[in-house]
Amino acid sequence: MSQVSISPIYFQTNKLSSEKITGGLIMITANKIYFAYSKNKLNIAEKLTEESIKPFMLNSLKLLNNKIEDTNKEIKLSLTQKKVIAEENFFNAQYFDYLSKYNQNGIIYLGKLKPANVTPTEVGFASLFKAFVGESLMPEFSKEKELTFTQKVKKTISKASIKDKADIDYKFKPEYINGILKQTNVTLATKNGKVEIFNAIDFKLKADAVATSLYSFEFLINALSAMMAKNDVKVNASIIVEEPELGTPAHQLFDKVWKFKIKKGIYSEMFLDKLKIKVEEICQDPEHIKLSKYLINDFTN
């Protein structure tokens, strides 16, 4: 699981006693910085003080939000164009010392960065926000949540130009791939020096269905790796996933897959935000070709 750090955002309600309430949260991951605050807690903080502090608080939060948005743009560029993130836009422990300047108004305080054991996704951030702030963030994601996991994946890979660079819903047949017993489908298959295959796994399905899909994918990885080894070509495999709700049997299964499969390098995990970046990378890279084109040229003669 990627390293995640968080910093609670506190609203001071009494200068004399230094009383505070937790009004927001920042979560820092390798691919994105998440930030949200509670308008309800903001209103409560103003009511508990004798001053009209809301305009000052909103201004500080706006400045912080602008900085985070700029940094996320830098992160996206660094991932898609392999550029180095500018030092002034890098969120780390040292930079949070700098961000303490936001505390000079005596109204908003940022907690020290600390690690968090959560998957770096919107769902993971929402679960932490609920735990720290006591409010749900999921309504903000309701538009995306109206889509099923399968629909989200299809929407992410529906970029027209990718059809020339990768196979979508590619079918591997046992008559062509030694080592698999039945036809095995993958969501995305491409080649750029190495072979890359991606398969969407919906952990909301029944555990038996999830396990069957994972076992079939693992059999395919092993068979394809043996086949590609003849040409000294490496195979990289990833499962496209969405983190299940914490505390559910689906999340327990997800944790087992992480521990026994992902952590051991059998395949890697790819969340939807990371998939979007990968699709952009495939579309922009002139070296990417459909895996089917390579297989036809090199293995069917």
- The domain that holds 163 is classified in CATH as 3.40.1350
Same domain, residue pair 153 and 293: yes
Domain shared by 113 and 207, yes or no: no
Instruction: Say whether both 127 and 251 belong to one domain.
Output: no
CA-based angle 38:40:42, to the nearest 5?
70
**Percent of the chain surpassing pLDDT 90:** 47
In tens, the pLDDT along 57-103 reads 888 888 888 888 888 888 877 766 655 554 444 566 666 666 655 45
Q: Are 236 and 266 in contact (CB under 8 A)?
A: no
Token match 């109206």: residue? 146
Instruction: Work out the pLDDT band at 253, boundaries 50, 70, 90.
Output: very high
Given a cut of 50, whether residue 301 has pLDDT beyond it is no
Query: What pLDDT sits at residue 173?
Result: 93
**Rounded Cα gap, residues 294 and 287, in angstroms:** 12
The Cα–Cα gap between 272 and 72 comes to: 16
Give percent above pLDDT 70 in the chain: 84
CA distance 284 to 288: 9
Question: What confidence score (pLDDT) does residue 46 get?
Answer: 77
**Arithmetic mean of pLDDT over the chain:** 84
Highest mean pLDDT pick, 38-42, 96-100, 169-173: 169-173
Q: For 59, how many CA atoms within 13 A lie in the half-sphere containing its CB?
A: 8
Angle of CA points 270, 239, 284, to nearest 5°: 55
Rounded to whole angstroms, how far apart are CA atoms 177 and 159?
29
Last residue of a domain, one of 112, 145, 178: 145
**Which residues have CB under 8 Å from 179's CB, separation 6+?**
219, 222, 223, 226, 227
Q: Please give the tally of structural domains in the chain.
A: 2
d(CA 278, CA 272) in angstroms, rounded, equals 10
Band (235; pLDDT cuts 50, 70, 90): very high
- Are 235 and 105 in the same domain? no
Give mean pLDDT, residues 101-116.
Answer: 73
* Residue appearing with tokens 């990627």: 2
The confidence band for 190, taking pLDDT boundaries of 50, 70 and 90, is: very high
Of 111, 128, 145, which residue sits at a domain end? 145
Q: What is the reported pLDDT for 290?
A: 94
Domain with 256, as residue range(s), is 149-299
Domain check: are 41 and 9 in the same one?
yes
Q: What is the 8-class DSSP label of residue 98? A: H
Final residue of a structural domain among 145, 168, 194 = 145
- Report the C-alpha gap between 170 and 290 in whole angstroms: 10
Span 201-227, pLDDT tens digits? 999 999 999 999 999 999 999 999 999
Cα–Cα distance, 112 to 7 (Å, whole number) = 6
